[in-house]
Amino acid sequence: MIVPTLDPAAVEADPDRAVEDYVASLQALPMDCSRPLWEFHFLDFPTSEATSTVVFRVHHSLGDGMSLITLLLASARSAADPTRLPAMPEQPARTGAIYEPRHRQPLPSGALAAFVAWVWPYLALAWNTVVDVIFFAATIVFLRDPNTLFRRGDSQVTLNPRRRFVHRSFSLDDVKFIKNAMNCTYVNMIESGKSNDVAWGNQIGYILLPFHLAVHDDPLAYVRMAKKTLDRKKSSLEVIFTCMISELFVKMFGLKAGAFIIGRMLTNTTTTLSNMVGPTEQVEFYGHPFVFIAPTVYGIPQALIVHYQSYNSTIKVILSVDEEIIPNYTQLLDDFVESFGHIKDAASRLSTHVKKG
């Protein structure tokens, strides 16, 4: 438990910046390996969002994002009723794996046609999985993303200790509105009281997603392209195989081999995106209400890492940024907000047109 002493003048001048500077300084301080690899840092002064801030720093070796967030929420309680655990989103109607079709079409008449219609989704699943695993292996060995403004040159990809962490809140209802207007899916991963469904420790799989850098007149074109990519990825077991491959290498060749795979994948790609589902109501931790939850990560050679965390009626977008590559990181966050506004407005016009039609 750490209560740091900060410069009173800096705190009074800009408390938000004081928190940002302090969090950025933690990555330069090694954790004490003689103690459990977690720390609580208490910043007891008001900011624009909260009356105080708690920074929970934990080593990734203790668990992945899902297990750590679940552990944190299992220690919290509902602010409305402190006798119960936080309420989580209702589970979706889907009961099978995400890659299984939601609605099977009626089988055509004729034995051969019915057999082809039945076996085709499984053939597509097998083919897509093979292709995705090959691309994953190629990325580990030689395949690299092209150089852009968001990525260092191939010879310059290093762990830079100068990172900044900034975040902004979006309306969860607005996100759901866009989801419904574009007929996208929104899958909730965990539910309060189902701790047996969460594997403790690190159970990490990877999905490689192509990003197209382009300027479109229609803001919804970005959503359509992302939806097309994700629909294709749902018909693949890539995430399962990448997790199994990483675990196999660790068991056969040791931790250094597993670290090599992760390091090569992160070095040869541009950015990492991760999302976590949080409670649907305000929660409290030993009598102290949470205003927001903003998970992030450092120690990764990518210049930009994006995390999404839902909580109550908001979604928090958190950027972990290499400030040498992206010095205007606050402007990048403002661009997220502006782009989201354009997408929402376009979705509103689309929804109104559909209703009138």
Query: For residue 154, is it within any domain?
Result: yes
Same domain, 40 and 149: no
Non-local CB neighbours of 233 within 8 Å, separated by 6+ positions: 128, 132, 207, 209
Query: For residue 187, is it within any domain?
Result: yes
Q: How many domains does the chain have?
A: 2
Q: How far is CA 166 from the centre of its chain?
A: 15
Same domain, 339 and 210: yes
Predicted confidence at residue 133, as pLDDT, reads 92
* Chosen domain end from 58, 77, 94: 58
Query: For residue 117, is it within any domain?
Result: no
Q: How far is CA 148 from CA 159, 167, 326, in A?
A: 18, 23, 11
Same domain, 178 and 36: no
219 burial via Cβ count (<10 Å: 0-12, 13-18, 19+): middle
Predicted confidence at residue 92, as pLDDT, reads 58
Residue span of the structural domain in which 213 resides: 139-356
Same domain, 43 and 152: no
pLDDT digits (tens, 9 = 90+) for 141-182: 899 998 888 886 655 555 666 899 999 999 999 998 998 888
Same domain, 54 and 145: no
Same domain, 257 and 348: yes
The H-assigned helical ranges of 182-219 are: none
pLDDT digits (tens, 9 = 90+) for 108-152: 567 777 777 778 888 989 999 999 999 999 999 899 998 888 886
Query: For residue 96, is it within any domain?
Result: no
Same domain, 49 and 145: no
Question: Which residues participate in catalysis according to the annotation?
Answer: 60
Query: For residue 114, is it within any domain?
Result: no
Same domain, 53 and 182: no
* Chosen domain end from 37, 58, 79: 58
The sign one gets for the Cα dihedral 144, 149, 150, 156 is positive
Mean pLDDT value of segment 84-89: 86
Same domain, 53 and 149: no
Query: For residue 189, is it within any domain?
Result: yes
Query: Which has the higher per-residue pLDDT, 68 or 54?
Result: 54
Q: What is the CATH number of the domain that holds 229?
A: 3.30.559
Query: For residue 108, is it within any domain?
Result: no
Same domain, 39 and 145: no
350 burial via Cβ count (<10 Å: 0-12, 13-18, 19+): middle
pLDDT band at 99 (very low <50, low <70, confident <90, very high): low
Same domain, 241 and 337: yes
Residue type, 258: G
Same domain, 152 and 290: yes
Query: For residue 179, is it within any domain?
Result: yes
